[in-house]
């Protein structure tokens, strides 16, 4: 199994540009999440999904959209990039949900917005 994969690994955007961060998992996990990690702060939840067709907001959802058309894929869209969205983004999946089973994290996407 490849586990959780993310693309791209690095990305530089100009303010106002849009892009999609890709995330896929091959473990047949129902739960998937997106986090951002900033220096000096813990991981913060952006959006999550409890299954195909179901998504919900996390702690810091503004400026991001998600969709879950299949169990495997959970893309994160930045609508109009801002410098405050410069961060490292992690996608994660788990079998039974965040509180009940360990999360498996992808390798991350390092995003810089200029």
Partner 1 sequence: KNQVEQSPQSLIILEGKNCTLQCNYTVSPFSNLRWYKQDTGRGPVSLTIMTFSENTKSNGRYTATLDADTKQSSLHITASQLSDSASYICVVSIQTGANNLFFGTGTRLTVIP
For the beta carbon of residue 51, count every other beta carbon within 10 angstroms. Answer: 12
For the beta carbon of residue 112, count every other beta carbon within 10 angstroms. Answer: 13
108 makes contact with partner 1 (CB under 8 A):
yes
**What letter would DSSP give residue 30?**
S
103 makes contact with partner 1 (CB under 8 A):
yes
Distance CA 89, CA 46 (A): 9
Distance CA 13, CA 86 (A): 9
| Least spacing, CB of residue 97 vs partner 1, in Å | 8
| Least spacing, CB of residue 16 vs partner 1, in Å | 28
| Least spacing, CB of residue 32 vs partner 1, in Å | 13
Instruction: Print the SS3 string covering 41-66.
Output: CCCEEEEEEEECCEEEECCCCCCEEE
Q: Which of residues 32-51 bind partner 1 (CB under 8 A)?
A: 40-45, 48, 50
Place of tokens 């999440």: 33
Q: Which of residues 67-96 bind partner 1 (CB under 8 A)?
A: 90, 92
4 makes contact with partner 1 (CB under 8 A):
yes
98 makes contact with partner 1 (CB under 8 A):
yes
Residues that bind partner 1 (CB under 8 A): 4, 40-45, 48, 50, 56, 58-59, 90, 92, 97-100, 102-108
């Amino acid at each position: 199994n490849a586990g959780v994969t993310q693309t791209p690994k690095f990305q530089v955007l100009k303010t106002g540009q849009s892009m999609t961060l890709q995330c896929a998992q091959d473990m047949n996990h129902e739960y998937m999440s997106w986090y951002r990690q900033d220096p000096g702060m813990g991981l913060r939840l952006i959006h999550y999904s409890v299954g195909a067709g179901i998504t919900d907001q996390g702690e810091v959802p503004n400026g991001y959209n998600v969709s879950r058309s299949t169990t495997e894929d959970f893309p994160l869209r930045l609508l109009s990039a801002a410098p405050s969205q410069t961060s490292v983004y992690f996608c994660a999946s788990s079998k039974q949900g965040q509180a009940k089973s360990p999360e498996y994290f992808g390798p991350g996407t390092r995003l810089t917005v200029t």
